[in-house]
Structure 1
Amino acid sequence: MIPFMKHRPGPICLLLLALAPASGLLAVDSDSLTDATVEEAREAIIEMIWSHQDPDRHWDPVKMPEYESTNQHLGGYTALACLALITAGESYQDPRFKKPLADLERAELRGTYAVSTRAAIWAELPQRFRPRLQQDANWLVESWNADAAGWDYRANPDRTLSRPSPSVRHFGTLALWAASRRGVVVPPGLLDALERVTIRNQLPDGAWHYPSTGQPRSSGSMTAAGLLTLYITQELLHAEEYRRLSRDTSSPVSDAIERGLDWMDSNYDPGRNPGGGRGSRFPMYYQYAVERVALAGGLRTFGGHDWFREGAATILDRLFDDGGGELVLKSSYGPDGKASALRELCFSLLFLSRGRAPIAVNKLRFEGRWNNRPRDMVNWTRWLSEEREIDVNWQVVDIETEPETWLDAPILCIVSDKELPWITPQRDAIRTFRKESTAYLERRSNGTLAEGERPPRPPSIVEVERIRRFIARGGLVLAINEGRSSSFADSVKDMATLLNPGAEWDIVAQDDPIYRYPVKVGKRAKILSMSNGVRDQILLVPGGDITADLQVINRRSESILQTLSNIHAQASGMNRFRPRLDAARSDWTDPRGSTTASLVRGVHGGNWKAEPDAMRGLQSALAESHDIFLTARDRRISDLTRNGRPDLLVLSGTEATSLSEADWQAIEQYVRRDRGVVLIEHAGGSDAGVFAATLEQAAMDRFSAPVRSARRTAVITGDGLADAEDCSSVRWTPYSVMEVFGAGEREPRLRCIEVDDRPAIFFSREDLSHALLDQPSWRIHGYDHDSAVNLMANLIRFGIASRPATP
């Protein structure tokens, strides 16, 4: 397994930079933190850890820090450094690892911390290290003190332990969990005792503490460790129980987890270990513990705090100074520093490396039975990571949060065995809306809408509106019906009526790419699709109860995992993973700019608004990168100049469509009298661009003019247009027809018709609309985001330049 974005060895000067004298404190704004900055920090930490290596002692210190003994921690620092570097993407075959790993294989380690950490290394390495993993797992099992339900700092299974260390228990549990994922069997009795003692030690406020002689003090790091233990026992002991939908949803484990999460939500602090006490001496261990439990539980936030974003900012603030715009590791973390500095570097690197992995799927939490099988997404993303050989994570998002924040994953998974709670009270209103919408769409299609008639208004449901916003921004909803009842699937169909009244559900064909790419699926589950003509918006698995076979992996799981893997590949643009910090923008940029322009998206009888947020995406991009304040409106074509002459008329569609005589008269008047500019585009670019192709022919007949390449026009070259881009070379969406079959082709394919001796109507059989959303999706044939924005900006600037002279 490799982490997202394999580490690239930095130049020697990076290490010199890391040791340079600090020129000032670094203040990291977590809101603006980018993956590039995190990667720069990771590379500096990696090089610094390597610089700590001693030819003989490897990473073990000459003298152990205070409160640590050589007997307990011999080999532990070397194991921790190796684990951090390998987790960060350093190859175990790197010559610098040869002697440390060989010595770790031979060493008879005596401390629980050291053995646990070494076991975690073997779990990350190829199968030939499996005997070493089994050996360390056996050591942990044999060293388990059954009376105390924990481990001592050294192997003392029969010694009386009055206060077993919870951090030692944390390390031992993590090691056995890692071993179990590689096929090592962990005794159920040990796990059961571990679970019972963890629940028993939970404080009344929901937290866990580090035992001492005084009053128990709730601790952030120990609460994270306690929660992680229960997530692990929930997986290893109770997975089969959760397959039964009829079980009691309340249990000692789930209740303890809820109480612990409530405490974390109320007390989490990204800058310090809440609760203080002994845990305050190990701030980076606290960050490591938070990362471990957050990834195990799919937790996106604690108390509204993005734990990775804010934790990463805290780490950068602690470890680095500002070296005149460069990240400079503080001198105290150099090779001559304390052993505790190396420990902090290692825990920081583990946090930054694991936490930054892309989010493959978000699971929606709502009031009701949303999490019947709590390990379904865990097992999916674990399989996906192994299949794709790239670490990916999953997380829970709440229906109460802003849907734009859900876009850090391409898929929103909604799962239940009961109908959606926000649909039930609105069933009659939805039925009425469906009937009215069907009639309205029929009138619009045959051109019999009354003057000024508007589409029927759907019932206002906050949850539906949030899901609509997620889909409109480019997201895919995957809905999975659990159990034998179809009530959940039926409620998803009702919700779809509100989201896209004109869409119909299609059964995904057996030869659809969902079942064939990148993996050919054997047994194919029935899937229903609701599309906007450009891409799938909702995929519904109406039966089969597939999450039961995700909760516990068995022989039936393989085809389910393959299907879900293919769905993810297509939703992510064939695994175009985005770093966690850079994956989603919470909001569009408000329209602004020194150049004002206007655009009309024309309403016609076809699928004129397949991607409703495309124009909002364009407004945001033009404000950010082109200094254009764009006003965008939807208008009937015959009414396009109601608010004055727009600089650009956009007609978009996904199927062969004809325009009425009134529409053509309005277009002709607009391009002749008002010197207007028109773009006719096939959204999505599929079906050979039939929408644009059909209207190309109609326009040639109308204007008695040929359609020619636009490559010599100002729209492409930018010549004569103020601040225009040169669009003579463009980029296509990955895996599009142009990218695959036109390898190396970079010339744009816009075509145009001249009216009154000037280019006036432009045609694109390739997608522009979806590209403006800046979200990945496979089976989109067209321009990439930047090229689409630049072409649209030039079209608008050309429309501005074409404005009739003011009398």
Structure 2
Amino acid sequence: MRDAMRPGCGVNRFRYIRCILLLPLFCCVSTLRAQDIHPEDVSRAIEQGVRYLKSKQQREGNWVEGSHAVGMTALCTIAMLSAGVSRDDPAIVNAMQYLRRFRVGPDFNQNYSIALQTMAFALCDPERDRPLIRENVRQIEEHQTFEGPNSPANGGWTYIYTGRKAGQRGSDNSNAQFSILALYEAERVGVSAKQETWARARNYWENCQNANGAWGYTPTSDGSTGIRASMTCAGIASLMISSGMTSQDGAAVRGDQILCGLPAQNPSQERIRRGLDWMERNFSVEENKGHGGTYLLYYLYGLERVGRMSGQRFIGKHDWYREGTAFLLKRKGELNTHWSDNLGDLSGTSFALLFLSRGRRPVLLSKIEFGTPGDHSWNMHPNDVDHLTRFVESRWKIDLTWQVVPMEPASVEVLLQSPVLYLSGSKSPLPNDPDRAAAWAAKLRGYLDGGGFIFAEAQPNDVSFDKGFRELMRQVLPEEGYELRLLGAEHPIWQAEVTIEPDRMRPIEGIEYGCRTGVVYCRPVKKETGTGNRPSLSCLWEVARPVERDDPYPEAVQRQIEAGLGIGINVLTYATNREMKTKDRKMLEAAAQVLSDVEQRRGQIYLGLLETGSGAGSAPRALPNMLQWAGVHLGIPVDVRADKVHFGTDAVFDFPIVFMHGRGAFTFTEEERTRVAEYVKRGGTLFVNAICSSKPFTDSFKEEMRTIFPEEEWTLSAVEPDDPLLSDVYGGFPIERLEVRVPQQSPNRKMRVVDKEVVPELLGIKVADRWGVVFSPLDVSCALEKTNSLDCKGYTRESAMKLGINTLLYSLGHM
């Protein structure tokens, strides 16, 4: 862990998120639906854009458009790297060789080019190009404008570097934005600018903001310059970055002490809020407000940055990524291979690629905003989730993002677009109004049913959040068996990614839901006699430093931070199994999930889900997912709902196929045993599997079958590999081997899942010439549930789907 998150200087350099998190932005359903955007269409458009850029690359490795040859080459390189092109790709290798030829001097002194070159160095191979990054940062700082006292241009940048001695004069907000972005990208890879540089930049952006919250192209002392949406995005993002670098965090390290819950102070917060208010009032993806259709793709490039850096999925009522993506796909069209605007084809295509690729980064988790307007108790440590995400990125080697979601207006569909919801704070998350509390509970239940994961934490010595969260969970999961229980040392959250030493463990509770622990809760830690409070995880994430610094924390402090980050990444690893999906794909799946929940499809065949006391509710979407897939891909007219049945009534005979699964030991009553026997002998099919390959359930099921069918010819026997059930005779799949997910701990003590090919392992009871009972001791349900779990052995999703579909078609074929 030390290599991934090294200690550093006393000032936390990544605080820009705070100012946006404190803003009362509320989301609602966008006017564009998720089904308007298909991930394949986005991927195809990105691939076409990359191919176009490669086709226009010159023999020397550069691109030519306008007067900024180096800048254009750097922009195309950044766009392709962001779109997923490897740094070892010949196009990138040649481009970087070209860029490394240029050093700041009389013949290379254009600010745009120097800034973009710095960003390309930082993005592609920062270790190799660190000396070049460091020199460029020095040059950018040296050429920050200073015209004398009270000049509105002070702290900005302009087109040409003239040098301090010549008197660097003039600023414009476009050049100033690119310099800020270059310094920011350098900061992310460990090359820091001076505090006075950031302070001057912050003052510049504050002073040139228009009274209505917007920014124009040039600064004026009275802020009367013409406004533009593109420059307003530049102002918001630049002020978030520069003010974040010079503001107080929600936590700090003083000697050997970690101070948590400090009042975060950002003097630019109100200005950023006004800028976002202007964006909300004037939001458009089809127009660069104040400039019409001019520089439109450049504006979208800035819009993506505001949305991504802020963590806000919505700007007002607008889902900026969804609407922007739909517009870009429409603007390019099916026949075109690239984008174009007034800046040119190369610039337009690069800006479009940056919007599409960076904006679709997988969402790792969403931080839930709750409470009354203006109450920021949900956000005591504003940078916690950002720093944790940065740490996960460094370990998983993948670009990720996070977002803030206000709970009140969020729908289940919105919540499902994030694999993890994070709740923390110093006040109760449970609304006082019973109706609102019930609505919250219903949404969170829908989120859990859809495969979501809740990660919550109370602050040390907290009472209000702890009491409220426990009551909220009781309302979300009122059924017996869904209580919060302490997670033992054997649980994967202590070793899924990194091993947490016993002395760094803390009391963490969980609720088993679905095929895994679906809720993880860090309960408040009480102060021990003669000791200070153990910092909360969010506090430790807040003080963590994403890049290596020269001034390390004390060893005792660093160990605490590493343990806090370790627990955080372990929980996220357990929740996601490191299987992240791009934002557009999550949108599509979330919409499909909600539509399947409300869709009432008439069909000819109805299937039942058997209720038992052994965890029948552990995988509520397993059967609907299988049936929905069968309906869509095989044209089987089945109802996508899983109607619950039990063998205590004659209603079970209305279902030709009954699906049963469980995790714990169970027993049938005598009445149920009688109906099971009668159901099977009448021609019904009982399809059963052990959730997560549970041995207690398997043992119980086998014992019940021996009791119900004592005759020798009715005993459970193996389904042979050449059986018609495993063939395509009934329209299914020819199955010779299936893949099984096997949890393992790697030599470096990291948990992982290994896929192994096996001969299908099925048992059954035959009635005349057909299988009346089909049993899989390996898990099928959790795979069908689409739940990522590190500790659940069973078939892969594809194998489970094949096995389930074959059993369904086999059963229908014998009706």
Q: TM-score range by the shorter chain?
A: 0.7 to 0.9
Per-residue deviation at 1:418? 1.3
The aligned counterpart of 2:290 is 275
Instruction: Tell me the residue number matched to 1:610.
Output: 618
2:71 is aligned to 76
Q: Is the 8 A contact 1:360 1:381 kept in 2?
A: yes
* Partner residue in 1 for 2:196: 189
Counterpart contact for 2:493–2:567, Cα < 8 Å = yes
- Listed one character per residue, the Cα deviations across residues 128-187 of structure 1 (whole Å, up to 9, x for unaligned) are 311111111111111112442211222257688997311111111111111122222322
* Maintained 8 Å contact 2:422/2:456: yes
1 CA distance for matches of 2:643 and 2:333?
A: 49
Instruction: Return the alpha-carbon distance in structure 2 between the equivalents of residues 116 and 459 of structure 1.
Output: 49
- Counterpart of 1:657 in 2: which secondary structure? coil
Q: Which of 532, 540, 560 matches 1:549?
A: 540
Read off the aligned partner of 1:258 and give its amino acid letter. Answer: R
Counterpart CA distance in 2 for 1:363 and 1:640 is 47
Question: Aligned pair in 2 of structure 1 residues 716, 582: CA closer, same or farther (>3 Å)?
Answer: same
Alpha-carbon distance change, 532 to 47 in structure 1, aligned in 2, over 3 angstroms: closer
One-letter identity of the residue aligned with 1:226 = G
Map 1:220-259 → 2, pairs under 5 A: 220-241=229-250, 252-259=267-274
Residues 516-595 of structure 1 mapped to structure 2, 5 A cutoff: 516-522=495-501, 523-532=504-513, 534-543=515-524, 544-553=535-544, 555=558, 556-573=560-577, 575-583=578-586, 584-586=589-591, 587-589=594-596
> For residues 633-652 of structure 1, what are the structure 2 equivalents within 5 Å?
633-641=643-651, 645-652=654-661
Partner of 1:96: 94
Counterpart of 1:577, as a letter, is M
Q: Residues 111 and 160 of structure 2 are in contact (CA less than 8 Å); yes or no, is this contact kept in structure 1?
A: yes
Mapped partners of 2:263, 2:663: distance in 1: 49
Deviations 1:384-420 (A, max 9, x none): 1121111111112231221233233321111212111
Structure 2: how far apart are the matches of 1:135 and 1:197? 24
Displacement of 1:293 in angstroms is: 1.7
Work out the CA distance in 1 between the residues paired with 2:420 and 2:604.
36
CA deviation profile, 1:412-433 (whole Å, cap 9, x unmatched): 11121211142x555xxxxxxx
Alignment of 1:39-188 (within 5 A): 39-55=43-59, 58-61=62-65, 64=66, 70=67, 73=68, 75-93=70-88, 94=90, 95-97=93-95, 99-105=97-103, 109-124=108-123, 125-146=125-146, 147=151, 148-156=154-162, 164-188=171-195
Counterpart check, 1:380 vs 2:388: yes
Seen in structure 2, the aligned counterparts of structure 1 residues 640 and 221 have a Cα distance that, compared at 3 Å, is farther
How far residue 267 of structure 1 moved from its aligned partner, in angstroms, is 2.4
State the 1:547 CA deviation.
Answer: 1.2
Separation in 2, partners of 1:307, 1:248: 31
CA shift digits 1:444-502 (9 cap, x unpaired): xxxxxxxxxxxxxx996111111111111111101022354242133222222222342
Give the distance between the partners of 1:227 and 1:515, measured in 2 at CA. Answer: 40
Q: Distance in 2 between matches of 1:758 and 1:564?
A: 50
| Counterpart AA for 1:185 | S
Q: Is the 8 A contact 2:674 2:708 kept in 1?
A: no
Structure 1 contact 709–752 (Cα < 8 Å) conserved: yes
**Equivalent residue number for residue 33 of structure 1:** 37
Distance 1:234 1:620, change over 3 A: farther
Q: Which residue is equivalent to 2:10?
A: none
State the 1:700 CA deviation.
Answer: 2.4
Cα distance in 2 for partners of 1:183, 1:759 equals: 64
CA contact (8 A) 2:156 2:171 kept: yes
What is the TM-score with the length of structure 2 in the denominator? Answer: 0.81
Q: Using a 3 Å threshold, how does the CA distance of structure 1 residues 329 and 170 change in structure 2: closer, same or farther?
A: closer
Offset of 1:735 from its aligned partner?
A: 4.8
Q: Which amino acid aligns with 1:418?
A: K
SS of the residue corresponding to residue 606 of structure 2 reads strand
The answer for the alignment partner of 1:465 in structure 2 is: 442
2:706 alignment counterpart: 700
The aligned residue for residue 228 of structure 2 is 219
Amino acid at match of 1:780: C
Distance 1:202 1:777, change over 3 A: farther
Q: Do 1:404 and 1:473's aligned partners in 2 also have CA atoms closer than 8 Å?
A: no
Amino acid at match of 2:590: R
2:494 aligns with: 515
What is the rounded CA distance, in whole Å, between the counterparts of 2:33 and 2:482 in structure 1? 43
Deviation readout 1:313-343 (Å, 9 max, x if unpaired): 333333x3434xxx6347x79xxxx972211
Cα contact 1:601–1:635 (8 A) shared by 2: yes
Shift of 1:654: 0.9
Structure 2 contact 249–264 (Cα < 8 Å) conserved: no
Number of aligned positions between the proteins: 715
The answer as to whether partners of 2:250 and 2:382 remain within 8 angstroms in 1 is no
Q: Secondary structure at the match of 1:413?
A: strand
Is there any run of 5+ residues in structure 1 with no aligned partner, and where? 1-27, 65-69, 427-457
Q: What is the alpha-carbon root mean square deviation over aligned residues?
A: 3.2
> Structure 1 CA distance, aligned partners of 2:454 and 2:602?
38
Q: Could you say which residue in structure 2 is the equivalent of 1:498?
A: 475
- In the alignment, structure 1 residue 489 sits paired with structure 2 residue 466: yes
Query: Compared with structure 1, are the counterparts of its residues 105 and 403 closer, same or farther at alpha carbon in structure 2 (3 Å cutoff)?
Result: farther
CA contact (8 A) 1:588 1:616 kept: no
Match of 1:449 in 2: none
- Alpha-carbon distance in 2 for matches of 1:521, 1:567: 12
Counterpart CA distance in 1 for 2:103 and 2:777 is 61
Moved more, 607-616 or 100-109: 100-109
Change (3 A) 1:122 1:581: same
Please say if residues 144 and 157 of structure 1, whose CA atoms lie closer than 8 Å, have aligned partners that are also in contact.
no
- The question of whether the paired residues in 1 share the 8 Å contact of 2:740 and 2:755 is answered with no
Shift in CA distance, 473/764, structure 1 to aligned 2, threshold 3 Å: same
Tell me the secondary structure at the aligned position of residue 658 of structure 1. Answer: coil
User: Of residues 719, 727, 731 in structure 2, which corresponds to 1:717?
Assistant: 727
- Residue 305 of structure 1 aligns with which residue? 318
Amino acid at match of 1:359: V
Q: Which amino acid aligns with 1:671?
A: V
Aligned-partner Cα distance in 2 for 1:474–1:322:
34
In 2, the alpha carbon distance for the partners of 1:749 and 1:593 equals 33
Residues 232 and 242 of structure 1, relative CA distance in 2, 3 Å threshold: farther
For 1:203, the equivalent position in structure 2 comes to: 210
Match of 1:452 in 2: none
| Contact 1:650–1:679, Cα closer than 8 Å, also in 2 | yes
Distance in 1 (CA, whole Å) between partners of 2:33 and 2:414 is 18
SS in 2 for 1:478: strand
Deviations 1:236-289 (A, max 9, x none): 222535567665578542222333223323322122223326xx4212211111
TM-score scaled to structure 1, two decimals?
0.81
1:739-750 matches, within 5 Å, as 743-745=756-758, 747-750=759-762
Q: Whole-Å Cα distance in 1 between the matches of residues 182 and 433 of structure 2?
A: 49
What is the letter of the counterpart of residue 88 of structure 1? A
Name the counterpart of 2:794: 782
Aligned counterparts of 1:650 and 1:459: Cα–Cα separation in 2: 36
* Secondary structure, aligned partner of 1:684: helix
CA contact (8 A) 1:198 1:230 kept: yes
| Paired residues of 1:417 and 1:482 also in contact (CA < 8 A) | yes
Aligned pair 1:766/2:778, yes or no? yes
3-state SS of paired residue (1:638): coil
Pairwise CA distance, 1:188: 1.9
Distance (Å, rounded) in 2 between the aligned partners of 1:57 and 1:530: 56
- 1:719-760: CA deviations, max 9, x gaps? 3x3x444445444447589x9788322x33231112355311
